[in-house]
């Protein structure tokens, strides 16, 4: 007998009737808690989860009141926690930075799960990695809704390490590995290929997310209650999808970002990226560019598309702040007062990347630095405060964590077109002016424009 919450469209967001996945947008609650000095603790994770619970009203549920639109958390790699877990499985984990962890949603069908694992293992070996272990993530299905439980994937972690010495940029290699795995899964045309999804594959961060309500995340993922699961920052997200369907893989955080708002230029951004793919090239003879195309996978949400674009820029060696400044520039036209070096930066990069315009608040991380930007429309709030004990709390509203007034050092907001950077390695906050001045002055962008720019009227 069918459940009262039966929804056959929940599992696969395919184009049908008036629904098209290209129109996926969100209006959500985002938050971040961090120790400015980079001190890792479980307290930061707990405070992140507290902030998430207090953003529950910005999430949503459907006919099943216990199934949310999505919730999740992104933290730094909890090395000691995973070292202990794998040790109990008889596996020795290498030093930090020498391995990557994949957080994966596999098909719930046992045969499809086995097929997916085989393809992953084959790709891992071909890419020059050893697969150290598979770990079934401990969960409590009774803590979530009927619909979420029915569509719940097999949630698994896989640990990989290079067969030889770890490359200088292991996360770039892991990006290529993930795209190779995704291409292999698609080429195999598995019956449940659409249910396969890698939430994160990184040496520095990991994502726990799902088709959950904000307050369910900690109870569902038992790992999140472990005291040895530590991080110096936590990015959290409570999803409210607008005119869309909920699904496990569309929950935030994505691999690098959380986002409140919508990217209204996403179709144009995707088309321009597709056009530029034809001239992609690499000096690495072992790199199969075909595995990276399309950079922006079809049928995703606008946030997932932005995340795809960001990870490509990071893989090319750009910093998180450089990449975010390229993707989400402030207003910089001819009649806007601005330092010439900064205007040169924007004009130079506009030839290779169109602006991803919202309204949108985006917070992204490379695992060490966290960069927040409010797009030039400025229609999504972002408030933050810094405490006397070096804790940064940032969210789409104030009051997500109870902080005694005497501990508040100062409060501020991010203004339209402005950026904000936390560098946990250096233990410092960088404001918009200093951040952009440093990037704009890092290369002779004005000289490059003068020497290479061609105007149509001059032809």
CATH number for position 170: 3.30.70.260
Q: What is the mean pLDDT of residues 126-152?
A: 95
The whole-number pLDDT of residue 19 equals 47
Of residues 7 and 459, the one with the higher pLDDT is 459
The whole-number pLDDT of residue 117 equals 97
The whole-number pLDDT of residue 1 equals 36
Q: Which residues contact 459 (CB under 8 A, 6 or more apart)?
A: none
Q: What is the mean pLDDT of residues 292-306?
A: 91
| C-beta neighbour count of 374 within 10 angstroms | 28
Whether 37 and 99 map to the same domain: the answer is no
Q: Is residue 10 part of a domain?
A: no
pLDDT tens digits, residue range 239-264? 876 555 678 999 999 999 999 999 99
Among 203, 219, 244, where does a domain finish?
Answer: 203
pLDDT tens digits, residue range 159-203? 999 998 767 889 999 999 999 999 999 998 888 888 999 999 999
Of residues 405 and 29, the one with the higher pLDDT is 405
Integer Cα distance of 138 and 221 in angstroms: 6
Q: Which band of pLDDT confidence, cut at 50, 70 and 90, is reported for residue 114?
A: very high
pLDDT tens digits, residue range 330-358? 999 888 999 999 999 999 999 999 999 99
Task: List C-alpha distances in Å: 279 to 35, 178, 276, 354.
Answer: 42, 22, 6, 17
Q: Which band of pLDDT confidence, cut at 50, 70 and 90, is reported for residue 26?
A: very low
pLDDT tens digits, residue range 409-438? 999 999 999 999 999 999 999 999 999 999
- Chain Cα centroid distance, residue 247: 16
Please report, for the domain that includes residue 325, its CATH number.
3.60.20.10
The whole-number pLDDT of residue 4 equals 46
The whole-number pLDDT of residue 102 equals 99
The whole-number pLDDT of residue 284 equals 80
Q: Is residue 58 part of a domain?
A: yes
Q: What is the mean pLDDT of residues 49-56?
A: 91
Whether 420 and 405 map to the same domain: the answer is yes
Strand spans (E) along 163-299: 197-202, 205-210, 233-238, 241-242, 257-261
Question: How many distinct structural domains can be found in the chain?
Answer: 2
Domain with 188, as residue range(s), is 78-203
Catalytic residue among 28, 152, 199, 382: 28
Among 167, 186, 203, where does a domain finish?
Answer: 203
The whole-number pLDDT of residue 191 equals 81
The whole-number pLDDT of residue 243 equals 52
Does the annotation mark 382 as catalytic? Answer: no
Helix (H) or strand (E) holding 404: none
pLDDT at residue 6 is higher than 70: no
Strand spans (E) along 325-366: 360-365
Task: List C-alpha distances in Å: 25 to 101, 242, 246, 266, 299.
Answer: 29, 6, 11, 10, 12
Q: Is residue 16 part of a domain?
A: no
Task: List C-alpha distances in Å: 22 to 61, 76, 196, 304.
Answer: 21, 31, 19, 11
- Could you tell me which of 285, 315, 224, 235 has the C-alpha nearest to residue 30? 235
The whole-number pLDDT of residue 448 equals 97
For the chain, the average pLDDT equals: 91
Whether 402 and 428 map to the same domain: the answer is yes
Q: Is residue 432 part of a domain?
A: yes
| C-beta neighbour count of 141 within 10 angstroms | 10
Whether 57 and 111 map to the same domain: the answer is no
Whether 119 and 166 map to the same domain: the answer is yes
Integer Cα distance of 426 and 391 in angstroms: 15
Whether 315 and 211 map to the same domain: the answer is yes
pTM: 0.92
Q: Is residue 458 part of a domain?
A: no
Kindly report the CA angle at 418 between 295 and 36, in degrees rounded to 5? Answer: 90
Among 160, 183, 203, where does a domain finish?
Answer: 203
Q: Is residue 4 part of a domain?
A: no
Task: Work out the percent of the chain whose per-residue pLDDT is above 90.
Answer: 77
Preceding omega of 105 cis (within 30 degrees of 0): no
């Amino acid at each position: 007998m069918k459940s009262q919450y039966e929804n056959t469209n929940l599992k696969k967001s395919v184009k049908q009737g008036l629904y098209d996945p290209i129109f996926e947008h969100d209006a959500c609650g985002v938050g971040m808690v961090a120790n400015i000095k980079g001190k890792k603790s479980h307290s930061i994770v707990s405070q992140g989860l507290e902030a998430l619970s207090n953003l529950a009203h910005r999430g949503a549920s459907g006919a099943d009141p216990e199934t949310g639109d999505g919730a999740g958390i992104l933290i730094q790699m909890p090395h000691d926690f995973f070292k202990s877990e794998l040790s109990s499985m008889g596996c020795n984990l290498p030093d930090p930075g020498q391995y990557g962890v994949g957080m994966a949603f596999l098909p719930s069908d046992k045969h499809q799960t086995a097929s997916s694992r085989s393809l992953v293992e084959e790709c891992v070996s071909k890419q020059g990695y050893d697969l150290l272990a598979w770990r079934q993530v401990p969960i409590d299905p009774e803590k979530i809704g009927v619909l979420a439980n029915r569509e719940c994937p097999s949630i698994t972690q896989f640990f990989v390490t290079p067969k030889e010495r770890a490359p200088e940029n292991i996360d770039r290699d892991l990006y290529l590995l993930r795209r190779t795995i995704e291409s292999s899964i698609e080429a195999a045309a598995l019956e449940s290929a659409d249910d396969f999804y890698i939430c994160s594959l990184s040496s520095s961060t990991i994502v726990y997310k799902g088709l959950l309500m904000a307050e369910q995340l900690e109870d569902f993922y038992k790992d999140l209650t472990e005291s040895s699961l530590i991080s110096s920052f936590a990015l959290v997200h409570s999803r409210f999808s607008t005119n869309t369907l909920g699904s496990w893989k569309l929950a935030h955080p994505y691999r690098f970002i959380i986002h409140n708002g919508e990217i209204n230029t996403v179709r144009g951004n995707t088309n321009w990226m597709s056009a530029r793919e034809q001239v992609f090239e690499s000096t690495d003879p072992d790199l199969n560019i075909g595995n990276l195309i399309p950079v922006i996978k079809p049928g995703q949400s606008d946030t997932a598309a932005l995340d795809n674009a960001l990870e490509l820029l990071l893989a090319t060696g750009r910093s998180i702040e450089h990449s975010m400044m390229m993707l989400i520039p402030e207003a910089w036209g001819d009649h806007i007062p601005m330092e010439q070096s900064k205007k040169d930066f924007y004009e130079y990069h506009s030839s290779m990347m169109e602006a991803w315009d919202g309204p949108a608040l985006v917070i992204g991380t490379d695992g060490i630095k966290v960069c927040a930007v409010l797009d030039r429309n400025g229609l999504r709030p972002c408030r933050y405060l810094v405490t006397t004990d070096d804790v940064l709390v940032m969210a789409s509203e104030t009051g997500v964590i109870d902080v005694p007034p005497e501990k508040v050092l100062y409060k501020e907001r991010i203004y339209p077109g402005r950026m904000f950077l936390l560098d946990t390695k250096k233990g410092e906050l960088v404001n918009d002016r200093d951040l952009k001045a440093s990037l704009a002055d890092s290369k002779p962008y004005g000289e490059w424009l003068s020497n290479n720019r061609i105007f149509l009227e001059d032809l």
